[in-house]
Amino acid sequence: MFQNQLLIWLNMKRIFILMLGITSLTACKQKEEKGTASADLKEPTFHIEKTDTEIKVVPDGSTFAVVTQNAKPDFRPYIHPILAPGTEAELTQFSPGHHKHQTGLYWGFTRVNGTGASADELKKWFYDPDKPEDIQKKIGRDFFHYPDGDHWQRVSMEVLAPKGESVQWKTVYNMLDGSKNPILKETQTWTFTQKDGKYLLSLEWQGEALTDITVNEFDYGGLFLRMPWKKGINGEVENASRQRNEKANEQRAMWADAGMEIEGLDGWGHIAILDHTGNQGYPQPWRVDSQLGIGPVLAKSGDWQIKKGETKIFQYQIVAYSGDLDATKMNDLWGDYVGDKGMYNTESLWEIAKQEGRDAKFLSPEEAVEAMNVKQGYKVNAFASEPMITQPIAFCWDDRGRMWIAENRDYETRSKGFSNSGDSRILILEDTDHDGVADSKKVFAEGIPFPSAIAVGHGGVFVGAPPNLLFLPDKNADDRADERTLRCC
C-alpha cells in the first residue's frame, strides 16, 4: 500500500516537473516571439541616392525610390512620384493635360509684386501669355503657372541626413523677376520617415526677400498637390471640418485630405497636407479645385508681405497612404506633428466657425433657398420669415398642415444671459391659399417663460419651458390657449 502511494507521488512529481519545464519553455518561446514581433514592428530604414537633378528616397534592401525630389537647374523644384506605401503605385502626377503647369507636389506663388490689377483686368488678361507689359506689372510675377527657367534658378541641392529611419535634404532656388534678377531666395527642407504604414514628408519652407515682396491676393498659390485625377474617377477631398470637395474650397482647416482611385491599388490612394500652428494665417484657407487638387493658400485672405532682408517660414507635413481616411487618426497625426496631443483642434474649429459666421453674407430667405443643395426631385421654398416671425427656437406641424412656432424672446447672448422680457409666445402659421408661403398668423399664447420645445396634441400644446413641461389646453378649439391655463406635467 505504502509502496503504491509512494509510486503515485513520484509519478505526480515527475509530471509536475515536466509541466514546469514545458511552462518555462513556453514562456521563453513567447518572450522570443514577442521580441521578434517587436523587431518586426520597427520602422524601416531608408537611404538617399543623389544625382545632378534628383534626390531619391530608397528603402534599404530595395531598388526603387518611394519619393523623388526633382531639382533641375532651370525648372521649379517638385516632388514626383510619391508612391503608396508598400507598393509601386504613384500617388502624384506630373503635368496632366488639364493643368500642364502642375508638377506633382510643388510650391509657387501666383501673384508677386503686382501693382494692383482690377478684377476685370485679372479676368481678361491673367491667362493670356501675350498680355501687355503694363498689364503684366499690374498682375505681378506668376510662379505658379510658370515652372521654367525664366522664373526659377537653382542655387544648390544638398543631402542633410543620408540614411536611417529618417532622411533629410534641402533645395535652394532663386525666384526671378522679368529681367531674371533674383527677388526671393527659396529654401525647402524636407524630412522623410515612415510611421504606422504611412509616409510622412515634413516641409520647412523659407523665403528670404532680396527685395520687398508682396504676395498679392489670389484664389491659389503656395504649396500645391496634383494627384492623378481623370474624368470619371471616384475621389474626394475632405478637411478637418468634415467639409468635402467644393464645400472645402476657400474654407479654413487644420488639414485637408485628397483620396481617389489609383491604378495598382485595391483601395483609394490618399495624400493629406497638415497645416502648422506657427504658420501665418493659421489655419489657412484651402484651394480645392474640381480635379481634387489641394493646397493651403494664405493669399486668399489678402495681400501679405516679406520685407527686404527678412525671412518668412511656413511648415507643413504631407501624409501619403492607401485605404480609407480615418479622420480621428488624422487628427492624432496632426496633434503629433504640431506637438498638441492633448487638445486637438476643438478650439481652432470653434474659432473657424465664429470667423465664418462673421464673414458670411447675410442672406435673404430667397437667397438662402437659392444657395441650398437639394436632392433631385425635391423643391425648397421659404414658408415663413421675418417680420412674420422673430427669434423662433422650435416648431412643429399639426394635422391641418399648420406650423406652430415657439418664439423665445427671453434668450439674448452667452455673455448677457436671459432678458426675462416676458413676451415670448406660441404662434400658429397657416398657408390658406396653398402657394407654399404662410399668409395667416395667430397668437396662441403669450408670456410663457423661455419656451424652447413644442408639440401639438391631446386638445392643446405641450411646451418645454425649462425647468417645466407645460400643457396649454384649447378646449373650445378657437386657436387660443384657455385663459392661460398652465399645467405642469
User: pLDDT tens across 463-483, in order?
Assistant: 998 888 999 999 999 999 996
| CA–CA distance, 417 with 94 (Å, rounded to integer) | 57
- Mean predicted confidence (pLDDT) in 73-86: 97
Q: Which of 34-38, 232-236, 377-381 shows the lowest mean pLDDT across its residues?
A: 34-38
pLDDT band for position 33 (50/70/90)? very low
| CA–CA distance, 117 with 109 (Å, rounded to integer) | 16
pLDDT digits (tens, 9 = 90+) for 444-456: 999 888 899 999 9
- Mean predicted confidence (pLDDT) in 69-84: 98
Query: What b/e string do you get for 187-214 counting C-beta neighbours within 10 Å, with b at 16 or more?
Result: bbbbbbbbeeebbbbbbebbbbbbeebb
- How far from 68 is each of 79, 104, 143, 159, 370, CA to CA, in Å? 6, 10, 21, 13, 47
pLDDT at 477: 93
pLDDT at 43: 83
Does residue 237 carry a pLDDT above 80? Answer: yes
pLDDT at 347: 67
pLDDT at 376: 83
| CA–CA distance, 423 with 450 (Å, rounded to integer) | 9
Does residue 75 carry a pLDDT above 70? Answer: yes
CB 184 within 8 A of CB 175: yes
- Please enumerate in sequence order all residues whose Cβ is within 8 A of that of 393, keeping only pairs 6 or more positions apart, or say none: 406, 407, 408, 411, 451, 452
CB 316 within 8 A of CB 190: no
CB 59 within 8 A of CB 44: yes
| CA–CA distance, 175 with 107 (Å, rounded to integer) | 11
Does residue 9 carry a pLDDT above 80? Answer: no
- SS3 category, 257: strand
Does residue 280 carry a pLDDT above 70? Answer: yes
Length of the chain: 489
pLDDT digits (tens, 9 = 90+) for 290-323: 999 999 999 999 999 999 999 999 999 999 999 9
Question: Is 0.75 topped by the overall pTM?
Answer: no
Q: Which of 48-52, 130-134, 163-167 shows the lowest mean pLDDT across its residues?
A: 130-134
Q: How is residue 401 written as a grid cell?
A: 398642415
Mean pLDDT of the chain: 88
Does residue 199 carry a pLDDT above 90? Answer: yes
| CA–CA distance, 260 with 242 (Å, rounded to integer) | 17
pLDDT at 437: 95
- The kind and range of the H/E element at 82 are strand 78-82
- How far from 454 is each of 296, 385, 393, CA to CA, in Å? 45, 19, 9
Does residue 421 carry a pLDDT above 80? Answer: no
- Mean predicted confidence (pLDDT) in 255-270: 97
pLDDT at 413: 57
- Mean predicted confidence (pLDDT) in 261-281: 96
Does residue 23 carry a pLDDT above 70? Answer: no
Q: Which of 157-171, 384-398, 401-415, 462-476 shows the lowest mean pLDDT across its residues?
A: 401-415
pLDDT at 439: 96
Does residue 20 carry a pLDDT above 50? Answer: no
Does residue 96 carry a pLDDT above 70? Answer: yes
Please, where are the H alpha helices in 272-408? 327-338, 346-359, 365-371
Paired with 252 in beta bridges are 285
Q: Give the whole-number percent of the chain exceeding pLDDT 90.
A: 74
pLDDT band for position 21 (50/70/90)? very low
Q: Which of 219-233, 307-321, 380-394, 419-433 shows the lowest mean pLDDT across its residues?
A: 419-433
Does residue 24 carry a pLDDT above 90? Answer: no
pLDDT at 449: 85
- Mean predicted confidence (pLDDT) in 246-275: 96
pLDDT at 343: 53
Give the other-Cβ count within 10 Å of 347's Cβ.
Answer: 10
- Mean predicted confidence (pLDDT) in 282-296: 96
- Mean predicted confidence (pLDDT) in 64-90: 97
pLDDT digits (tens, 9 = 90+) for 365-375: 999 998 887 88
